[in-house]
Amino acid sequence: MIEIHAHDVAVFENGWKVATVTRSGALKLPAKDGPVEVPFQVGDAVLVGAGGSIIVAPLSFDGATDIARKVIECDPRTLTDGHSLRALATAVIGFATQIVAPVKENA
């Protein structure tokens, strides 16, 4: 299990939290051809469940923009995917907090 260093920016009634990444790293995610290492950077937004599990993996602004573009272009797969909605909500809250108080990488 990989540890993601992040700063909570919003906590919700169901115990879920939006956080922003404070230290770069990478996640190994399953894929058809075997695990793939997916890097994440300082400032990426992440959604964490009440028990500490990752609901939305660290998402960059570019990644969120790509999802938003697919929604606007009416990509049927993205429009019907509940995960895409959670990812967009995570991005909006995570990135909006950085405009007010940017997160700096820990030394």
| Number of domains within the chain | 1
d(CA 57, CA 45): 8
Residue 15: count other Cβ atoms within 10 Å of its Cβ.
11
| pLDDT, position 29 | 82
Residue 93 located in a structural domain: yes
d(CA 99, CA 107): 22
The arithmetic mean of pLDDT across residues 68-86, rounded, is 91
Residue 1 located in a structural domain: no
pLDDT at position 104 over 60:
no
Range of the domain at 73: 6-100
CA 39 to each of CA 34, 51, 60, 94: distance values in angstroms, whole numbers, following the listed order: 16, 23, 10, 18
pLDDT at position 106 over 90:
no
pLDDT at position 107 over 50:
no
41 with 72: CB under 8 angstroms?
no
Side chain identity, residue 25: G
Residue 107 located in a structural domain: no
pTM, two decimals, is 0.83
